[in-house]
């Protein structure tokens, strides 16, 4: 599965001069966790997150004592708050690598680029939604891809908790390898294996 298969596109982006308030409104309205920041030529130059927007923006309540709290001037624009440079990945990035980057870098959203142009964004929530797909929906997608490749009636597909088992009516190792790769590209598939129906029946 590639980044293009689950990215949100088109993506809403902001410019460095966008106000912090407007960025907060976009995040709140759309339920986003981050917004890519682009320049005049639509090239990715940064990212602004929920954490960036809330940092130092809520004033201290003067009725209470706050230890070690330093008052800092809150940034007024996205350019004041954004993280730059920003990590981005291409549309062809393997989602496994994308997930690893989200976890290792402790970030919640990854801009997806084509060259330097932002074409989408993938969040942790997008990946969790894919993992939560119903087995029946996964099986339907796997079946559709396999029928395009090898015809109908050839494949038997069982899916449980995202684990796919494919039984092939024909004894062809090459075709089963392709079938496995096609299944692994389906959103929600955790792993996939294949077997020849004749071998399973003889057990």
pLDDT in tens, 71-112: 555 568 999 999 889 999 999 999 989 999 998 988 889 999
How far is CA 58 from its chain centroid?
A: 30
Give the model's pLDDT for residue 110.
94
Supply the pTM of this predicted model: 0.73
More confident residue, 153 or 194: 194
Structure-block tokens of residue 100? 């690893």
Tell me the average pLDDT across 178-189: 93
* Per-residue pLDDT tens digits for 131-155: 899 999 999 999 999 999 988 889 9
Domains defined for the chain, CATH in brackets: 3-131 (3.10.580.10), 135-202 (3.30.1340.30)
| Residue 2: strand pairing partners | 94
Give the model's pLDDT for residue 18.
94
């Amino acid at each position: 599965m590639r980044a293009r298969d689950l990215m949100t596109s088109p993506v809403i982006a902001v410019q460095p001069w966008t106000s912090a308030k407007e960025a907060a409104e976009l995040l709140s309205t759309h339920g986003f966790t981050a917004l890519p920041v682009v320049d005049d030529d639509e090239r990715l130059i940064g990212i602004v997150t929920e954490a960036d927007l809330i940092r130092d923006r809520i004033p201290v309540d003067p009725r209470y004592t706050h230890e070690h709290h330093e008052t800092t001037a809150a940034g007024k624009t996205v350019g004041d708050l954004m993280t730059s440079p920003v990590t981005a990945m291409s549309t062809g990035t393997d989602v496994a690598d994308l997930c690893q980057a989200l976890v290792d870098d402790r970030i919640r959203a990854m801009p997806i680029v084509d060259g330097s142009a932002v074409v989408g964004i993938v969040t942790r929530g997008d990946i969790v939604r894919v993992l939560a797909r119903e087995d029946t929906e996964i099986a339907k997608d796997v079946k559709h891809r396999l029928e395009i490749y090898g015809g109908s009636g050839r494949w038997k597909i069982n899916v449980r908790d995202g684990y796919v088992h494919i039984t092939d009516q024909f004894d062809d190792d090459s075709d089963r390898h392709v079938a496995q790769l096609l299944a692994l590209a389906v959103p929600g598939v955790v792993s996939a294996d294949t077997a020849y129906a004749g071998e399973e029946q003889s057990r």
